[in-house]
A and B are shown apart, each in its own frame.
Chain A
Amino acid sequence: DAGITQSPRYKITETGRQVTLMCHQTWSHSYMFWYRQDLGHGLRLIYYSAAADITDKGEVPDGYVVSRSKTENFPLTLESATRSQTSVYFCASKEGAKGGTEAFFGQGTRLTVV
């Protein structure tokens, strides 16, 4: 099925563990983004990517690592999880064209760090 999928949907991990959140899109969109959303707040940009092997830091990149070896995948890794990283994480993709193209979102991953 076409679309953007995130996995897992829910994850509980312990402080200090490494955890990777997966994001896969089938449209071959150039741009991909990772956001975190905390209760009652908007979306804060963690990392973004314009194409395979091109990534940039967003507003809150500390403690996170990304890679993009293939256009369709954009995994987000928490190298050593902390309680402050408990959040809902959204992956999004959009076409590379300028002029306000729509961003499509995954269902989100709810991560709890205990």
Chain B
Amino acid sequence: TQLLEQSPQFLSIQEGENLTVYCNSSSVFSSLQWYRQEPGEGPVLLVTVVTGGEVKKLKRLTFQFGDARKDSSLHITAAQPGDTGLYLCAGEGSGTYKYIFGTGTRLKVLA
């Protein structure tokens, strides 16, 4: 069974602080994606990582895919209140189109 475990589950920080969210699995994924979800809405894609060791940057957000394609991290620099939301990693395993989501990290950035 493929599982994606995220940590931490909850995170409350002050504006300007840095943070890292982790997404871990014992399974290999052909790709991994990060989404952000606002209350009352569906998740919206932030980034896709495909190659082991890949690093992508999106303004203050940095995403990394593990060398073995089993884990990923999301780092936010100088967090802002607008970053508040639920962050979800998602992936499809090798040789399958099954698309699963992580357990989620709820981030709150205080002004």
A 67-95 binary contact with B (CB < 8 Å = 1; else 0):
00000000000000000000000101010
In Å, the complex CA distance between A94 and B103 comes to: 21
The 8 Å CB contact of A92, one of B1, B30, B42, B49, is B42
Q: Which of A40-77 contact B (CB under 8 A)?
A: 40-45, 48, 50, 56, 58-59
B residues within 8 A CB of A31? 97, 99
Residues A45 and B45 in contact in the complex (CB < 8 Å), given A40-B106, A98-B30, A100-B33: no
Total B residues in contact with A, Cβ cutoff 8 Å: 27
Interface, chain A (partner B; CB < 8 A):
31, 33, 35, 40-45, 48, 50, 56, 58-59, 90, 92, 94, 96, 98-108
Q: Which residues of B contact A (CB under 8 A)?
A: 1, 6, 30-33, 40-45, 48-50, 88, 90, 92, 97-104, 106
